[in-house]
A and B are shown apart, each in its own frame.
Chain A
């Protein structure tokens, strides 16, 4: 599956509901927007779109590794552990669809690094791990916000905005778990 698989969000919804029985959120439907004809029409911007998608993919792969570190740290207790695993699952879904879209556009998706340089020594409590995750999620929201206007293909911009929304929710939930104001401002930058 990729961003560019299906002709319309409605078609995506029909296919998904028909084949898997899953209920899709509006965001998930947006992820499936776009089509091959549109991709072909925007060839001029495709190389840039691939680069944007690959940068996002690199960050998603790093987020997956970061949550893995948190999950294996033995510092997270339930329900925070379950939350971290759920959020990691979202990042895996983002990474899968980003990689698939890069391939669909004729590019080569970046792959996960063999090793990530995380500040392991600074993670000594559950709060440290949640704070670390919250920082990554906040940065991810800003990164997607900075990428959305750059896409040549507007359906890719819409899909990236859908991921942005998910990661903003992660950030808010993590802030709430840390006892911070979950949504600190009306605008993101």
Chain B
């Protein structure tokens, strides 16, 4: 059972809760999102510039599912944490068909990066 030790370590990590949020680590984790998202451009998913404080389903010109548009979510640390943990459980009709980010620390770091990125030059262009 050579896998036993790494798997046990993984479960310990999964069970942990977020400590302090690290935006730099969040930037590294953001590479997981790169197939569908960018900061300043709409891709398969909507742009992330301006995400914190934005109403879900509200980027002009982006095609959202009806379920996302009617979710009444406003993206903040709390709603993003819930959504990123299990997107399809929080908004069952979302087109973000992704199982989720299971680790609380990873979610916290990602959200910290998204908040910080909102003030990056890339997000300040008209």
A residues engaging B (CB < 8 A)?
A: 48, 51-52, 54-56, 58-59, 62-63, 116-119, 135-136, 138-140, 142-143, 145-150, 186, 189
A82 to nearest B CB, angstroms? 23
Q: Does B43 lie within 8 Å of A62, measured CB to CB? A: yes
Contacts of A186 in B (CB 8 A): 6
- Report yes or no: A117 in contact with B97, Cβ–Cβ below 8 A: no
Contact A62 to B44, CB < 8 A, known contacts A138-B34, A139-B35, A139-B36: yes
Q: In the complex, which residues of chain A have a beta carbon less than 8 angstroms from the beta carbon of B106?
A: 189
Give, as a whole number of angstroms, the nearest-CB distance from A86 to chain B. Answer: 19
Taking chain B's interface residues, is the majority helix, strand, or loop, or is none over half, making it mixed?
loop
**In contact, B33 and A142 (Cβ under 8 angstroms):** yes
Who on chain B is nearest to A151 by CB?
A: B97
A119 near B35 with CB under 8 A, answer no
Q: A143 to B31, alpha carbons, bound, how many Å?
A: 10
Task: Given A62-B44, A117-B43, answer yes or no on A150-B35 (Cβ-Cβ < 8 Å).
Answer: no
A55, B43: Cβ atoms under 8 Å? no
Q: Within 8 Å CB of A56, what residues of B?
A: 97
A139-B97 in contact given A62-B43, A62-B44, A117-B42 (Cβ < 8 Å): no
Q: A55-B44, A59-B44, A62-B43 are in contact. Are A147 and B35 (CB under 8 A)?
A: no
Residue in B32, B93, B99 whose Cβ sees the most chain A Cβ within 10 Å: B32
In the complex, what residue of chain A is closest to B100 when comparing beta carbons?
A146
Per-residue CB contact flags for chain B residues 14-36 toward chain A (1 = under 8 Å, else 0) read: 00000000000000000111111
B68-124 residues with Cβ-Cβ distance < 8 A to A are 88, 93, 95-100, 106
- The majority secondary structure among interface residues of chain A is helix
Residues from chain B with a CB closer than 8 A to the CB of A142 are 31-35
A147 to B35, alpha carbons, bound, how many Å?
A: 12
Contact B97 A51, beta carbon cutoff 8 Å: yes
From A54, A146, A149, give the contact of B95 (CB < 8 A): A54
- Give, as a whole number of angstroms, the nearest-CB distance from B108 to chain A: 15
**Cβ contact within 8 Å between A136 and B35:** yes
> Which A residue sits closest to B47, measured CB to CB?
A117
> How far is it, in angstroms, between the C-alpha of A165 and the C-alpha of B9 when the chains are bound?
25
* A117 close to B41 (CB less than 8 A): yes
Q: Is the CB of B99 within 8 A of A140?
A: no
Residues of chain A within 8 A of B100, CB atoms compared: 146
Which residue in A63, A117, A138, A146 is a CB contact (below 8 Å) of B98? Answer: A146
Q: For residue B87, which residue of chain A has the nearest CB?
A: A146
A174 to B11, CA, bound (A): 31
**Quick check: A147 and B99 within 8 Å, CB to CB?**
yes
A139 touches B95 (CB 8 A): no
Bound-state CA distance A54–B93 (Å) is 13
